[in-house]
């Protein structure tokens, strides 16, 4: 099959990769740059600087040549060593993923809040920290598996009180929701290109605090491929990366960052909030229930809904794809059969989400799960319009 003569079969509403704007696609392939030229270094450094407001930091943002999981592994391998102990908050599939990575590295890892319905109870977390004395706590800002948002600012306050390093997976929140690396006292954060940065997958970005750098400097078993000492040296001295830079991905992210800056970071967050509230209202009106149950723990970057027992999620997702050319995410883990996941992270606009909701309603009607349609789109619009006024 020739990719230039065939059209993609569906519009993406999956929680990564997400819809890529034409501007971003065009920028990634418009001109070929060599990665060791002054012209490309300028674009790379411009991209890293442009990302700072999304991370809420004055620190340097560093590129990591791998997807989100690889960059998280790199951060853990650079910061932690055999004598360390981590506490990992596991209230979602990606929280558990970090715990698994750290355990496999042979580092002691205490798992907590292991149920997907758990919200972080700060008093309980404080007790665990007093008992375990961890070097680091790992947590996902926005767990894409179950749509749970964890309270990073409050965990940051504990980090300052108890002196552990706070390592955050913000793969599906950067660019969608406020993240304040400096103010919240975060020590390491990672995001990836294919979510809020509305680019193809394959490159990630990390920020590290002075405390993390101190730990990395003294780590005698530093990994060789993702080695933050080398990455920092290369960025600082030549404006380049060690190894061959994924040039087209950096060009894509550069354009995405410019689009975000043009719209205004606050406006981007406001758009995500309005689309999120409206999508959630629409799914409730269709008769689905939302996850997580607690409203203030719900993500702005995706909506997760539990479907009634009578609904076969595989059928529903396949029907949406085949008949209406809309691809949404199936549930993950324990919720694979009982939930659907709809992304509104990155470039989505009101018309995109209306299309998705309308197609979802139409599919529910086609499959006999509802007897009429329109209530979802109607509720979506009402909520969207009222959210716009806030």
Interface residues with ligand PLP (CB under 6 A)?
A: 16, 67-69, 94, 140, 143-144, 169, 171-172, 192, 201
72 or 268: whose CB is closer to ligand PLP?
Answer: 72
Non-local (6+) Cβ contacts of 258 within 8 A are: 50
What residue is closest to ligand PLP based on CB?
68
The answer to whether 74 touches 80, Cβ cutoff 8 Å, is no
The DSSP H or E segment spanning 88 is: strand 85-89
107 or 345: whose CB is closer to ligand PLP?
Answer: 345
Q: Report the nearest approach of ligand PLP to the CB of residue 169 (Å).
A: 5
Task: Count the Cβ atoms, other than its own, within 10 Å of residue 307.
Answer: 22
Q: Is the dihedral of CA 308, 309, 313, 316 positive or negative?
A: negative
Say if residue 225 is preceded by a cis peptide, omega within 30 of 0. no
Q: Report the nearest approach of ligand PLP to the CB of residue 107 (Å).
A: 19
Q: Is the dihedral of CA 281, 282, 286, 289 positive or negative?
A: negative
75 or 373: whose CB is closer to ligand PLP?
Answer: 75
Q: Which residue has the tokens 């758990």?
A: 118
Q: Report the nearest approach of ligand PLP to the CB of residue 202 (Å).
A: 8
71 or 260: whose CB is closer to ligand PLP?
Answer: 71
Q: Report the nearest approach of ligand PLP to the CB of residue 97 (Å).
A: 6
80 or 311: whose CB is closer to ligand PLP?
Answer: 80
Non-local (6+) Cβ contacts of 267 within 8 A are: none
272 or 383: whose CB is closer to ligand PLP?
Answer: 272
Q: Report the nearest approach of ligand PLP to the CB of residue 246 (Å).
A: 13
User: Which pair of tokens denotes residue 111?
Assistant: 């798992």
Sheet holding 326-330, edge to edge: 11-13, 326-330, 339-343, 302-306, 289-291
The phi-psi region of residue 292 (left if phi > 0; otherwise alpha if psi is between -120 and 50; otherwise beta) is beta
Sheet holding 188-192, edge to edge: 62-64, 204-208, 188-192, 165-169, 136-140, 85-89, 108-112
191 or 245: whose CB is closer to ligand PLP?
Answer: 191
User: Which pair of tokens denotes residue 11?
Assistant: 């519009």
For the chain, the maximum distance between any two Cα atoms, rounded to a whole number of angstroms, is 65
Q: Report the nearest approach of ligand PLP to the CB of residue 229 (Å).
A: 23
Q: Return the SS3 of 230.
A: helix
347 or 362: whose CB is closer to ligand PLP?
Answer: 347
Q: Return the SS3 of 289.
A: strand
300 secondary structure, DSSP code: S
176 or 268: whose CB is closer to ligand PLP?
Answer: 176
Distance CA 221, CA 212 (A): 15
The answer to whether 116 touches 138, Cβ cutoff 8 Å, is no
246 or 376: whose CB is closer to ligand PLP?
Answer: 246
């Amino acid at each position: 099959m020739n990719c230039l003569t065939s059209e993609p079969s569906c519009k993406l509403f999956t929680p990564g990769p997400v819809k890529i704007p034409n501007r971003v696609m065009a920028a990634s392939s418009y001109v070929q740059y060599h990665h060791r030229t002054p012209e490309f270094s300028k674009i790379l450094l411009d991209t890293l600087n442009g990302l700072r407001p999304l991370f809420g930091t004055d620190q340097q943002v560093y590129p990591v040549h791998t997807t989100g999981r690889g960059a998280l592994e790199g951060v853990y391998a650079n910061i932690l060593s055999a004598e360390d102990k981590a506490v990992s908050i596991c209230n979602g599939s990606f929280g558990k993923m970090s715990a698994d990575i750290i355990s496999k590295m042979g580092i002691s890892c205490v798992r907590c809040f292991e149920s997907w319905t758990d919200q972080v109870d700060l008093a309980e977390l404080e007790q665990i920290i007093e008992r375990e004395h961890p070097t680091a706590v790992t947590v996902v800002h926005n767990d894409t598996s179950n749509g749970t948002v964890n309270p990073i600012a409050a965990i940051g306050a504990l980090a300052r009180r108890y002196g552990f390093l706070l390592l955050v997976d913000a793969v599906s929140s950067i660019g969608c929701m406020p993240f304040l690396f400096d103010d919240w006292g975060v020590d390491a954060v990672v995001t990836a290109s294919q979510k809020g940065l509305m680019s193809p997958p394959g490159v990630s970005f990390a920020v590290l605090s002075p405390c993390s750098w101190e730990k990395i400097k003294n780590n005698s078993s530093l990994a060789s491929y993702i080695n933050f000492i080398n990455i920092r040296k290369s960025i600082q001295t030549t404006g380049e990366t060690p190894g061959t830079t994924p040039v087209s991905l950096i060009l894509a992210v550069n354009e995405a960052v410019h689009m975000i800056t043009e719209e205004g970071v606050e406006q981007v967050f406001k758009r995500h909030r309005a689309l999120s509230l409206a999508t959630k209202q629409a799914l409730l009106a269709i008769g689905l229930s939302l996850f997580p149950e607690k409203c203030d723990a719900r993500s702005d970057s995706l909506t997760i809904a539990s479907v009634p027992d009578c609904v076969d999620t595989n059928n529903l997702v396949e029907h949406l794809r085949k008949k209406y050319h809309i691809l949404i995410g199936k549930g993950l883990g324990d919720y694979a059969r009982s939930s659907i996941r709809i992304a509104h992270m990155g470039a989505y606009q009101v018309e995109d989400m209306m299309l998705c909701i309308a197609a979802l309603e139409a599919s529910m009607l086609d499959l006999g799960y509802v007897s009429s349609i329109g209530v979802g789109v109607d509720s979506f619009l009402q909520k969207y319009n009222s959210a716009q006024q806030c």
